[in-house]
Structure 1
């Protein structure tokens, strides 16, 4: 028989050695006490010390009980619907009549679990909050185990079809078994109903351009019915087929061939006369075409890029031309191209997500990017401190020269209550970025306004950037909106400043109180002060701000995305400084021998009439410079891809003489071919399979003779349909076979970059795509009786029990424990109090 007392800290018993010190002190004491008092006091002190030491051992009194706590875990996912609830409620009531349940919990679940206070509340739970498109049985069982109180034998009664789409039921089963938790499983199946679904769309993973291939569609039906099947390519319907569906699996094929793009997403949708759930009526797949390399030219004004477009096409470059409004918004579109050419496109015409997308495309997916100069490029385009600046071989700010005209910049910032925390923080970041771009000979003043104006900094030298930026950080929002006092304060400070260029940037998100804005701004223009205005959000007075910019001979910007404000401020500051552009004729100079320009005699290259000032990054390669040594053509490797910067343009402004040069087309074609992503033959055969709420990727890595490479390893980078990156683990499951599983909670295309190695040598970088359309929750499947049976058998439960069996013949005992340290401390204090009484009580 096990002794019921347990000491969690038995080493504390060593402290009993202090009893020896007490005995020694007792022998040496000279206190005038009678012998019986002295002995009684000594014994009481020893007893008090023993009680305290026992308390320090953290003693627990253990007891056994046969009382059972029951968790009723009810599947409310879409594959079961209300059927589990209908089955569980009478089952629970009958169990209560058969035997008393000292403690019970009611837990509805789907993708997540929820504890409800009564059975009736379980029927009223918001199933959407339970993420009913998924089934996480493992999570529900773990939640149930944690919900049951200690000191009871724990039983879980599960009502489910056993079809999990999330979680790891096998691992949870082992944990429940180790904890002594018994699981009873009652299989549940939704009532028969007419159902038609697209089980899969199959396409070859890779094809050659214009090579015919089959798009296979597998449709599952449990009824005989008429249906129409639509086939889509990249969202556009390309075929419709009428079909008479029979119960079981139905297959149809459609012959396709593609050209032009490199990534195609095919999907099929079925429309049946007899059907219940529409969520599973569509599925998709992704095919990659191996065709010629392709370039995307994005220009602020595509008609002005016609010279470059014509020259590239004459050199055999396959080219698409788009305005900034047509720039790719997802990786699937961008992956169709091997290089992106940004021709005078300002960052303010692109969203922050698009700027990040370009960086991902180059860094993680091996694409190329080349930026050309112009009045909307580099710093002038607002690329300072953006992801695109990170990928370029040059920085978009530069050291201002002494001969450059000095700038006095007034930042007039709305700090009204409508700005809130997010807008205010972005406005402060933008203001600090603008200050960072100023030179030591420039000046800056910062003014905030609500219903009145506040001086954040006087007109001070921009040499003290840190001090000004610290003051900007202290701006807080609050109050109404009145632009006039802010502009008046800026006007009062600018005329007396010695700077040659004087400029105001006004930012607001609201509607201002009335004021004499036209007269005020006109006076500023007479003093050679220009004014630009930024409207933040649709609630701003856009008409007034546009007028202020027009009256002030400045520029007007509108954005409804606060994260774009720093790019606007950077662009405006660089434009106002008038020093980031050098418009003087110069002959390009070779800085390094450029193998990619073989066959082009650069000594015959004509004048260029201007360029944008930039700063070279330390590891960039400089191929061409201006006559003064400023970078003209630079490249570098960024992650898996390459990028380049040409700081002059390719148009009839600065490159007007180049347009007549017979080396013009060849120069651009060969530069682009250097930077574009290179095609390679894959050594790996890859397949995707939908599995347990996710996708399993299997890669067979082969050598040149088609044999498995036993030392093959790899790394993955995954971008989900929202563009969020993760790194699934690629594990070797057999010699030459690598596998990875990743969750697919969002519908759409998933893009992967796989870096494969043989030992320490990099074999290749492969780009893969897969598509998911709906959860496995919507498949036509019977209950997983084998899985539920295994769960019950491993945990000592009963599969498909009767209500009487839930609590019957449960011989398990549960341990309960009572902490004893608190009563021991109380007893020790009482003993010490008695000791004092014995020694002090009158004789």
Structure 2
């Protein structure tokens, strides 16, 4: 039998021939691919010092080779090689390898100023200069053109340059040309910059920006690696006036007098007249007389070189959009070169007549405030805090809200959140006056309203002040299962929220026995307290005395100025011991307020405990009232924030409109302790002490 042929006709072995024939195209392709990568990309390490970690592979390989002597030769080599490979890969990964793509193509985004203030011959020179520069462009370069004046428009999207002489057309007639918003042009250029080429921006302008901030936009471009070149178009007007801006308030009330400011710039001394017109919602346009007692309705002005500012006050009429237009007319045609830039406009939204709501809880605290506002001609509407609006739409026509010694418990959480939105979203005013039921003493600490007040209701740690102590004694017997215990836990959390981080707090849960959920200590971590309160369950009998005695002994040991206990239960308990304990607590000036849930609670016993200690008794049928009761009771502890001493406040911010023109600040008999909030909040009056506690902010 003949042997199979092992050579090809050219004499090479068949196996070698087959190998070469198969791998040769692959090898050629791989070589070409590597050449393309080497040409288009650069391989580098962002943190090359980490490559030094790879040197650890040498000693590691040495010790691994010695320690793995029991393995076979093949397994030994594989194990050492794998470990070395892992070290090298980790070193390379920590060095942050990067492959950077090279691209020699450039996109030039040209922002052309099309405002009417630039003479036509200067605009033509700018176009010709750019066209001449583009003649030397590479074939892969691209060009984009953006026209800018009153706004910015794309005249040409990024694309290859076919004819440099027609790359930039003449003026875009769709732009008004009365304003120059260079920053808008650069911003649009950043938006259309292609990611696959290098990018430069060229600003062709006289540099006279009338709106926006081109410097800030240029800084943003630089931060994105896009340089901005400037081709300045220089020219000289012997006489030129530009109406830079008409400044008007965004909002006003019907019948209100608002200030308007005219901002003009001039290259020299010029005289003329400013005329003002108003267009309302009906489309009717009429001229406003801003020259009372003079000839004509226009205001005669004399402009000097540079910026000139003039102010007038005008009344606004019915509600709606009011568009003001101002125009400068020179005294002679030779005093101004371009009349197109001699006007400016502004819009003011005029709302209906507004009013101020003054809320209190006793119909007395807000009486004098309301009288003073009425004397000043302000429309005042008084209401009891319990009748305060509960819909944001009801405050739309309200200019401000005054809370005259209103405690936190008088407003629901929904009303508090609504009031905060009224300030932050609608720009409404909020005034909180001092009193024993306001600020921190009124339980506002941690509330939504506290976030929008200009003072910190929880005074700083360094402030020396009397501390308060509160113990919550909560029944969690079997009869409290379900909604009762859940409402009790929510009420307890609401009370904790009102306390300062320097107050003492303890929480006891009891059935037939008691346990400390929160041992008596300073309230340093409210979140931890909330979590532990939420874990309270229900089950067992009811025995009030041991729990109440433990609360008494704990609160008695504290060095607090105000010591208070809140007892909540729905069941019966032996009364003799509780009554004698209550009498002792009354002697020690420890108050106890009791909350009875339902008709099964021992109402007589709970009422007697509250009466003996000077506390309050609450028979509760509606569980939804529990949080408000606990909030009201927690305010007793915050009485330590009330400072009762006679003093005369000092002015700390005399530039405020509130105290400007006030000849003398009257003496006060006390204040509610608060802290400085910082930020944009400004303390206007403070105590004359070294701490300078806020009095008016």
Instruction: Give the TM-score range, shorter chain.
Output: 0.3 to 0.5
Between the two structures, name the one with larger relative contact order (CA 8 Å, sep ≥ 6). Answer: 1
Q: What is the TM-score with the length of structure 2 in the denominator? A: 0.44
Q: What is the TM-score with the length of structure 1 in the denominator? A: 0.37
The structure that has the greater radius of gyration is 2
